Structure 1
């Protein structure tokens, strides 16, 4: 039992840290967000709602500058003010905004927030197991290697979630009559719009897959479905 104590403590620590982070995020979102109201975007959102068979797709604007979308742990969908600024400037179309919303709805539909909580606690548990083992095998570098391995695993799991959300978005966009064109066109220009360097880190350490890989997967899915 004592041998399992570090593992149990790591799992408990992960659960507490995740819970704290989720509560903190909710407070930030509640205090710095507003309901999206846009006469040109509303018909687009209504088409997504009709394709899903629901009355509406509520979207909120998170008043921060980075360009991003977010599916909160409580199921709400957010677009950042930075994304909305690109839309108002004409650099992102209404249909491309719809593709972001559809992607975040994919995270909600697949329960990725709950899965990431499990993944996060598992990552902490894996690190707790690897640190003493690698510390004995590779003195001084063991802790660093344990962190690298657990980070790579977390990135792999996060990339899986992104591909799943992309697949859901593609199906929803096709059903709503938009097709996957807006999804692909946004990925083609997203790095340029956000200033994100495509090769800032090895692909297996990135939490989001490379845009080229996502575009290939979208086209492959669409060809298979059609």
Structure 2
């Protein structure tokens, strides 16, 4: 179970259910057949499927309306960041107390209001840079490919007629839940943090926000690694890496 403390950069299961993604498998992964085809999907294919996922999530989630204080704040903070090195970006806020944010390979970035409540403006900008870093470094694409090459996807992709449709209804939602919820490795998290530091520098924002944001998360996690997978760096360790870069 993902707790409130564990939820940063992970999509909680409460908002991502199989029922939320009941669309035809043939439309979702086209002619992909098995692990090899899934791993060879083009960037355009991955972005197209990510866009579908974002649309499905937005339809099920409590999205903040444009006149919401949360939506207005995020729009102001990202007014000059609607594109990053060729990647078009779009943002929304989900009205939930969960502390979370995530990005899709198509440039869709979603913040939870619980995270915005605890972060300063520059700390939110750090999170934006971190999430973009996962996309630009190919981490998000890789997770999509791995999910699509799982046994459920392989079986569904090679099935024919009604059988394929049945698998799409019963298995595809869970498959995409795994794609978004999967934790990044330690090296991926560090790479995304490094990208965030460069992101802040390019836009003349305060890079110290990376340290303070991670220190806040460290307090939530109790200052240790007990609640984190071995491949997920503790906020304290990540904050120290960022502090060393500042020095």
| Interval of TM-score (by shorter of Structure 1 and Structure 2) | 0.5 to 0.7
Alignment correspondent of 1:217: 241
Higher RCO (Cα < 8 Å, 6 or more apart):
2
Deviations 1:141-197 (A, max 9, x none): xxxxxxxxxxxxx86x622221111111100101211132111101111133xx434
In structure 1, the partner of 2:142 is: 115
Counterpart in 1 of 2:72? 38
Corresponding residue for 1:196? 221
Taking the TM superposition and a 5 Å limit, the aligned residue runs for 1:160-171 are 160-171=187-198
Equivalent position SS for 1:38: helix
Structure 1 segments, 4+ long, off by >6 Å, are 20-25, 53-56, 121-124
CA distance in 2: counterparts of 1:100 and 1:21, whole angstroms:
20
Task: Tell me the equivalent position of 1:151.
Answer: none
Residues 122, 54 of structure 1: CA spacing in aligned structure 2 closer, same or farther, 3 A cutoff?
closer
User: Structure 2 unaligned runs (5+)?
Assistant: 1-32, 40-48, 152-181
Task: For residue 78 of structure 1, report the CA deviation from its aligned partner.
Answer: 0.6
Partner of 1:100: 127
Distance 1:72 1:166, change over 3 A: same
Contact 1:106 1:168 in 2 (8 A): yes
1:80 corresponds to which of 88, 112, 116:
112
SS of corresponding position for 2:127: helix
* TM-score (norm: length of structure 1): 0.58
Identify which of 202, 205, 215 aligns with 1:175. Answer: 202
Corresponding position: 1:68 with 2:95: no
Distance 1:210 1:163 in 2: 11
- Structure possessing the higher radius of gyration over alpha carbons: 1
Could you state the TM-score of these two structures normalised by the residue count of structure 2? 0.54
**Per-residue deviation, 1:117:** 3.2
Paired position in structure 2 for 1:158: 185
Go from structure 1 to structure 2 and tell me whether the alpha carbon gap of 1:31 and 1:119 turns closer, same or farther (over 3 Å shift): closer
- Report the CA distance between 1:29 and its aligned residue: 2.9
For 1:162 and 1:115, the matched residues in 2 are separated by 14
2:56 maps to what in 1? 27
Distance 1:76 1:217, change over 3 A: same
Q: 5+ unaligned residues in a row in structure 1: which ranges? A: 1-8, 125-153
Between the aligned partners of 1:112 and 1:55, the Cα distance in structure 2 is 15
